[in-house]
Structure 1
Amino acid sequence: MNLELQQFKADFFKALAHPLRIRILELLAEGEKNVNELQTLIGTEGSAVSQQLSVLRSKNIVNGTKDGNRVLYSLRDPMIIDLLNIARQIFNNHLIDTISMLDKINDDKNKEFEVEE
């Protein structure tokens, strides 16, 4: 794999590396929205939403289309939805592994406690 492609991937994932940007993408997966709609749904200041949209636009992750005096934002590539879903599955797998490990530790501690009594 060439260095340019690796750099593109690194920059792409850096653009996703912010909770507010992830939330924006999740909302845009439902359909296009303007800054005010995103602000209302997220419950944060418009300037914060605008700033994060700017990052996503600069990395060509979202598109902005003029609609009168507002801009409607949408996902540039619908495969972003798949990427977010896969990330959620990976997170869930890690969570399941962690829960299993904690259950085993608790079982072992309970067995030790039973033996001591």
Structure 2
Amino acid sequence: MSVPLYEAKAELFRLLGHPVRIRVLELLQDGPMSVRELLAAIEVEPTGLSQHLAVLRRSSMVTAQREGNTMVYALAGGRVAELLSAARVLLTEKLTGQNELLSELLADEANSGVS
């Protein structure tokens, strides 16, 4: 039995629903990084990072390659970067709308003399 597309999308967003995973994906947009480099950039315990990397790897969001004793992670493809970029655009639009609303409220408050 196949999963409906909307459920598959919901699962994708659940998998992305942790700040550490998002941060890892953001960092990997600049190119492959070792676990040591990721740990230096993210304040998380090594075991926690390992678990998040495993989730991202199982979901095919990142790839892992051993270079000697070091594991190096990379984005699995350009679509992941596109998804992060789309999220940035959506957040920018949302915050711009909130900023405009705040400006209107402040202008109304100043015009009515309400403090």
TM-score computed with the length of structure 2 as normaliser: 0.90
Per-residue deviation, 1:6: 2.4
Determine the C-alpha separation between the residues in 2 that align with 1:19 and 1:8. Answer: 20
| Partner secondary structure for residue 44 of structure 1 | coil
Aligned equivalent of 2:19 = 19
Counterparts of residues 92-111 of structure 1 (less than 5 Å)? 92-111=92-111
User: Gapped runs of 5+ residues in structure 1?
Assistant: none
Higher-helix-fraction structure? 1
Q: Which of the two has higher C-alpha Rg?
A: 1
Superposition deviation, residue 44 in structure 1: 2.7
Q: Which consecutive aligned stretches of 4+ in structure 1 deviate over 2 angstroms post-superposition?
A: 2-8
Residue 58 of structure 1 is matched in structure 2 by 58
Gaps of 5+ in 2: none
Q: 1:3 to 1:51 in 2, by over 3 A?
A: closer
The alignment covers a number of residue pairs equal to: 113
Following superposition, the deviation at residue 7 of structure 1 comes to 2.5
1:49 paired to 2:14: no
Partner Cα distance (1:111, 1:40) in 2: 50
Identity of aligned residues (%): 34
